[in-house]
Amino acid sequence: MENAAIAVGTMRHLGKNDREDVVIELLSSDALSTSAIEGEVLDRDSVQSSLRRQLGLSAAPLRSSPAEAGIAEMMADLYRHPIDPITEERLFEWHRMVMNGRRDIADIGSYRRHDEPMQIVSGAFGRQRVHFEAPPSERLAVEMGRLLEWLQQTTPEGPDPHAALTRAGIAHLWFESIHPFEDGNGRIGRAIAESALARAISTPTFSALSKSLLRHRKDYYAMLEAASSTLFIDDWLSWFADRALEAQKSADELVRFLIEKTRLMDRLRGALNERQEKVLLRMLAEGPEGFTGGLSAGNYATITGAPPSTITRDLSDLVEKGALLRTGERKATRYRLNITTDT
């Protein structure tokens, strides 16, 4: 949990507008990732616009889809109420948010009530493989009552990283094993894990947990399946802790990158031509990882449409101004942002 505290502490040194931008970037990253795990691709700008409206910030007049507005509403609730307990009522509210606009779900804002077993299956019809079968609908109130009671009884006292990670890992696995909703269990289960981590330090964690789980999506599903089937959870808890710590490190790097991004653009304000600014903003939009392999003159031409002589002058000027770092020679020349996220 150390990196989560570092990220929060670092943000306190930002001005109000910059801090708001960082919060929106972090929340939208988590919203996009948790949706992508379920195969749902959302528009970043629309999600960010919805988040800004949810948090009472100025927002571009973009129309968001129901899915984008719903996931933004849940992420905003997690951010505004990091230490609020997980109750049945709060879970039902999250489900209504995540299922926003859905017409194919019978039970929205309540546990599933159908008689058929809830199964996780894959494969073509007739050759389906059942990965997991959740408890029947009539047992959900009892099973969820036990989970919610446990969450209340095990609230960690003080920022003990081991207790927090273990509690978050158990809570996520337990919820997914019950699978109480007709749909949306993955997104809500990851929100429960985020909440458990936040309660350990009494503040939003900005852990980017979903981004890490998306990166390891295949293993994520395999580990969940193995643990929920055997009830031997040591391997799951170890794997989950590694992903949570990886996520916190990634979030800390993103916070530092966004801070340095703001400083860089402030320093260069008024000193760039339109082409240079367009390229820098395009590179910055890629995040800490930047362009794969670095920016080339060919990339610059594609983005700006400028001729070779202009590209050479523009790039040399950006290096001279300290915006870019140059590596390689001739056709192997590449440019990277002059930004560091080291502590």
> Which overall architecture, per CATH, does domain 273-337 show?
Orthogonal Bundle (1.10)
Tokens of 157: 């006292």
Predicted local confidence at residue 95, as pLDDT: 98
pLDDT band at 6 (very low <50, low <70, confident <90, very high): very low
Q: Is 56 annotated as a binding residue?
A: no
Contacts of 163 (CB under 8 A, 6+ apart): 156, 200
pLDDT band at 133 (very low <50, low <70, confident <90, very high): confident
Q: Is 15 annotated as a binding residue?
A: no
E strands, 108-168, in order:
119-122, 129-133
Q: Dump pLDDT digits (tens) for 81-91.
A: 988 999 999 99
Q: Is 188 annotated as a binding residue?
A: yes
Could you tell me whether strands 119-122 and 324-327 are parallel, antiparallel, or unpaired per DSSP bridges? unpaired
Residue 339, pLDDT above cutoff 80: yes
How many beta carbons lie within 10 A of that of residue 337, not counting itself? 22
Tokens of 290: 């930047």
Q: Is 160 annotated as a binding residue?
A: no
Evaluate if pTM is beyond 0.85: no
Tokens of 117: 């077993």
CA 32 to chain centre: 6
Distances in Å between the alpha carbon of 203 and those of 6, 8, 190, 219, 263? 12, 8, 17, 29, 26
Residue 341, pLDDT above cutoff 70: no
pLDDT, averaged across the chain: 87
Say how far apart CA 336 and CA 83 lie, in whole Å: 40
**High-pLDDT (> 70) share of the chain, %:** 87
How many residues would you count in the chain? 343
Q: Is 183 annotated as a binding residue?
A: yes
Predicted local confidence at residue 241, as pLDDT: 94
Say how far apart CA 149 and CA 241 lie, in whole Å: 23
Active site residues: 179
Predicted local confidence at residue 254, as pLDDT: 80
- Return the closest-CA partner of residue 341 out of 283, 290, 292: 290
Do residues 249 and 207 lie in contact, with contact meaning Cβ atoms separated by under 8 Å?
Answer: no
Backbone CA torsion sign across 272, 274, 279, 282:
positive
Say how far apart CA 97 and CA 212 lie, in whole Å: 23
Average pLDDT over residues 239-265: 87
Query: 2-255 adopts what CATH topology?
Result: Fic-like fold (1.10.3290)
Do residues 212 and 246 lie in contact, with contact meaning Cβ atoms separated by under 8 Å?
Answer: yes
Domain boundaries, the chain: 2-255, 273-337
Q: Is 111 annotated as a binding residue?
A: no
What distance, in Å, lies between the first and last C-alpha atoms of the chain? Answer: 16
Do residues 134 and 179 lie in contact, with contact meaning Cβ atoms separated by under 8 Å?
Answer: yes
- Return the closest-CA partner of residue 40 out of 240, 209, 184, 254: 184
